[in-house]
A and B are shown apart, each in its own frame.
Chain A
Amino acid sequence: MSFLALSEIKKSFGPVQVVHNFNMAIEKGEFVSFLGPSGCGKTTILRMIAGFETPSGGTIRINGVDQTTLKPNQRNIGMVFQAYALFPNMTVYENVAFGLKVAGMARADIDRRVKEMLALIHLEHLAERYPYQMSGGQQQRVALARALAVKPQVLLLDEPLSALDAKIRVSLREEIRLIQQQLGITTVFVTHDQEEALSISDRIVVMNAGRADQIGTPSDIYNRPATRFVASFVGTLNLIEATVEDPQANRIRIGEHAIQIRDSLAQSRGGDKVAVALRPEAASLQATARTDTALPGEVVASSFLGSVVRTRLNVGGNTISFDMFNDPGLTPLAAGEKVTLHFAARDLLVIRD
């Protein structure tokens, strides 16, 4: 049985339903990210797990115990907020000790546990600092230690990194993942940054307007998006309009080129319009052993992104972006240049709405 089980969770604010029949089973020790655009209900679900909002319907169970009607301070859940929310009147040490003190732990035990937590986040030397004397990244690590000190059953993080700058964001997310694996704590992480979700999660829930569009491993979500929304929200995607030529043989037509794809077209009929997707990194200007399809195109523009150069092509009326590794010897393609785009037909994904 799963450790954290959300079943048929609904939530309405007045007449507006913001979460629709949400189901999710999270295993013990799993790291799950909720990924989705602003306003899709990520925070609302997290707050229902924490007990700050009451679901309009459905149940929340942790380890088989129904939590739905418990107050936040009766649940054993750790929470990390976007705005850190450290108590400004307490030192780092006192902040981490707060939950332990509330629980009535003996002073010596508190001291041991606090030191253990500060060692975990490598901030032993700042124990006597106040929150205002620390950087955002340090404050957020203290908030993490404070949440973990009470040994919660589940750790919830609501966009904990979005107030930090890019460098810290990357290093702290790796630290969070490392600590999570070290402690084996079941974790739900909310973010609207797809790279963040892809890089640290065991599984990702892609949310769209209060529903889970797809639940899967990062590679599933990226390589086999279930819906058009998931495909376009996660990573950059080229959408190409195509016509179904032979549904039985999985053959489609892009412009005047017939292409055999791997995805099933069983639900379509000949002559139907379908959208197929191609990741920018799946196409190149050179034929390789892997590629089997070539389409002629014309360069629209190319932009330098550091390690890669992303070029936009016009292929039979569709705009297709593709990535090349940066090479100091390379001359960028000029607009209007005629090129041939190579890719493997099995990388084409049929996108359903």
Chain B
Amino acid sequence: MKTQKIGAWIAILFGATYFILPLIATFEFSLRMRRGEYSFDAYRSVFTDSQFQESFTYSIIMAVLTIVFGVLLIVPTAYWVRLRLPQFRPVMEFVTLLPLVIPAIVIVFGYLRLYNSSSWIPFTGSTRGTDLLLMFSFMTLSLPYMYRSVDTAMRTIDVNTLTEAAQSLGAPWRTILFRCIFPNVMSGVLSGAFITFAIVIGEFTMPSLLNRPAFGPYLQLIGANRAYEPPALAIIAFAITWFSIGILQFLSRFNKARPAKP
């Protein structure tokens, strides 16, 4: 009992060292831009860089759009598969896992072949079209996480009976989906949204090959050309990540839905 506890503490300590030490080192290095003293010069340099502001704003807008459209696509799909095509679930699982197996670069080259400006659906013919295509690619990338977390959340409610209860009370499909199902899978939607956010902010391959000014390519550019700014960016990205987790935690507190007692 006692030795088990000590073991657990050692494990935690080891994990913390593994995780926190590099973080501290990175932070320390990012403060050393000015010779001989610690300063936030690197951060100032990053924040005043107009390219940072632009690429970051672009990526955040993309992330929000990806989440909104992803949720609108995936929640109804997962719901319908559970309700009407349960035998189809293994196929869905397989399909949604594909983006993990197929490298992003393969997917994006496929897109470029299919949707280039001389194709039938010329997404890349205009900037807006390319943005749209990029959003769809982000949706593809986030599919495994989004689908899984929504589907898991759906497992905790009895989708079939809730649907029938709502139907017998006269509710049409739209009402059932948005008033009875959506609020009850909010926890899954939130965690899926969070992972999607992280993926979109950091993604390099797709925006760089589609030549859009996203945060990922900017990170890469800075990393290749500067010394002190990259660690500062890493710390900023990290802070944003934790900030979003905090927001999620905060939001999920308002989400009172819990499975009813059996």
Stretch at the interface among B107-115, B123-131, B236-244, B254-262: B254-262
Cβ of B188 to closest chain A Cβ, rounded Å: 13
Report yes or no: B260 in contact with A139, Cβ–Cβ below 8 A: yes
Q: Which residues of A contact B (CB under 8 A)?
A: 50-52, 71-73, 75-79, 81, 83-89, 98-99, 102-103, 130-132, 134-136, 139, 143, 146-147, 150, 163
CA distance A149 to B172 in the complex (A): 18
CA distance A83 to B260 in the complex (A): 10
* List of 10 A-B pairs having minimum Cβ-Cβ separation, nearest first: A99-B169, A89-B183, A89-B257, A131-B260, A72-B167, A79-B168, A85-B165, A85-B161, A132-B258, A102-B171
Among B168, B259, B262, contact of A73 (Cβ-Cβ < 8 Å): B168
- Please classify how large the interface on chain B is, using the bins under 10, 10 to 19, 20 to 34, 35 or more: 20 to 34
Report yes or no: A79 in contact with B258, Cβ–Cβ below 8 A: no
Among A52, A86, A135, A136, contact of B164 (Cβ-Cβ < 8 Å): A52
Set of chain A residues within 8 Å of B164, measured between Cβ atoms: 50, 52, 72, 79, 81, 85
Report yes or no: A73 in contact with B171, Cβ–Cβ below 8 A: yes
Report yes or no: A98 in contact with B168, Cβ–Cβ below 8 A: no
Let me know if B157 is at the binding interface, CB within 8 A: yes
Report yes or no: B167 in contact with A73, Cβ–Cβ below 8 A: yes
Interface of A is mostly: loop
Set of chain A residues within 8 Å of B260, measured between Cβ atoms: 84, 86, 88, 131-132, 139
Let me know if B166 is at the binding interface, CB within 8 A: yes
Report yes or no: B168 in contact with A78, Cβ–Cβ below 8 A: yes
Indicate with 1 or 0, residue by residue over B163-180, a CB within 8 angstroms of chain A CB atoms: 011111111100100011
Report yes or no: A102 in contact with B256, Cβ–Cβ below 8 A: no
A-B contacts, CB under 8 A, total = 90
Set of chain A residues within 8 Å of B262, measured between Cβ atoms: 83, 136, 163
Cβ of A212 to closest chain B Cβ, rounded Å: 24
Report yes or no: B261 in contact with A139, Cβ–Cβ below 8 A: yes
5 contacting pairs across A/B (C-beta < 8 A)? A79-B164, A87-B162, A87-B179, A88-B257, A89-B257
Given A88-B259, A102-B170, 20 other A-B contacts at CB below 8 A?
A: A72-B167, A73-B172, A75-B168, A78-B168, A81-B165, A84-B260, A85-B164, A87-B180, A88-B257, A88-B258, A98-B169, A98-B179, A99-B170, A102-B171, A102-B175, A130-B256, A130-B258, A131-B260, A132-B260, A139-B260
Set of chain A residues within 8 Å of B166, measured between Cβ atoms: 87, 98
Report yes or no: B168 in contact with A77, Cβ–Cβ below 8 A: yes
Question: Contacts A130-B256, A132-B260, A139-B260: A88 and B169 contacting too (C-beta < 8 A)?
Answer: no
CA distance A196 to B168 in the complex (A): 25
Q: Which residues of B contact A (CB under 8 A)?
A: 157-158, 161-162, 164-172, 175, 179-180, 183-184, 186, 256-262
Set of chain B residues within 8 Å of A51, measured between Cβ atoms: 167-168
Report yes or no: A102 in contact with B158, Cβ–Cβ below 8 A: no
Set of chain B residues within 8 Å of A98, measured between Cβ atoms: 166, 169, 171, 179
Report yes or no: A73 in contact with B170, Cβ–Cβ below 8 A: yes
Cβ of A149 to closest chain B Cβ, rounded Å: 8
CA distance A169 to B242 in the complex (A): 50
Chain A residue nearest in CB terms to B260: A131
Report yes or no: B158 in contact with A85, Cβ–Cβ below 8 A: yes
Among A86, A89, A147, contact of B168 (Cβ-Cβ < 8 Å): A147
